[in-house]
Amino acid sequence: MKKQFRKSMFGGFRKKDVEEYVNALEEELEKLRAERDEGLELMRQQKQDRERIKKVLSDAEEQAEKIVRNAERTAQEKTKSANRELRNELNNKVIDFMTVKYNLAEFSQEIDELCAQLKGVSDSVRSVSEELTAKADSLADVPEDRESDAEEAAEKLRNE
pLDDT digits (tens, 9 = 90+) for 71-99: 999 999 999 999 999 999 999 999 999 99
Establish if 44 belongs to a structural domain: yes
Establish if 10 belongs to a structural domain: no
Q: How confident is the model at residue 149 (pLDDT cuts 50, 70, 90)?
A: low
Q: Model pTM greater than 0.85?
A: no
12: left (phi over 0), alpha (psi -120 to 50) or beta: left
Do residues 139 and 154 make contact, with C-beta atoms less than 8 angstroms apart?
Answer: yes
Establish if 61 belongs to a structural domain: yes
Owning domain of residue 50: 15-159
Question: What is the pLDDT at residue 9?
Answer: 58
Question: What is the pLDDT at residue 4?
Answer: 64
- The burial class, CB within 10 Å (0-12 / 13-18 / 19+), for 157 is middle
Q: How confident is the model at residue 136 (pLDDT cuts 50, 70, 90)?
A: confident
pLDDT digits (tens, 9 = 90+) for 95-130: 999 999 999 999 999 999 999 999 999 988 998 888
DSSP track, 41-73: HHHHHHHHHHHHHHHHHHHHHHHHHHHHHHHHH
pLDDT digits (tens, 9 = 90+) for 30-48: 999 999 999 999 999 999 9
Do residues 153 and 135 make contact, with C-beta atoms less than 8 angstroms apart?
Answer: yes
Do residues 9 and 3 make contact, with C-beta atoms less than 8 angstroms apart?
Answer: no
Q: Using the Cα atoms of residue 62, residue 64, residue 65 and residue 66 in order, give the sign of their dihedral.
A: positive
Establish if 123 belongs to a structural domain: yes
Tally the residues of the chain: 160
Establish if 51 belongs to a structural domain: yes
Question: How many domains does the chain contain in total?
Answer: 1
Establish if 38 belongs to a structural domain: yes
Establish if 6 belongs to a structural domain: no
pLDDT digits (tens, 9 = 90+) for 13-34: 777 888 888 999 999 999 999 9
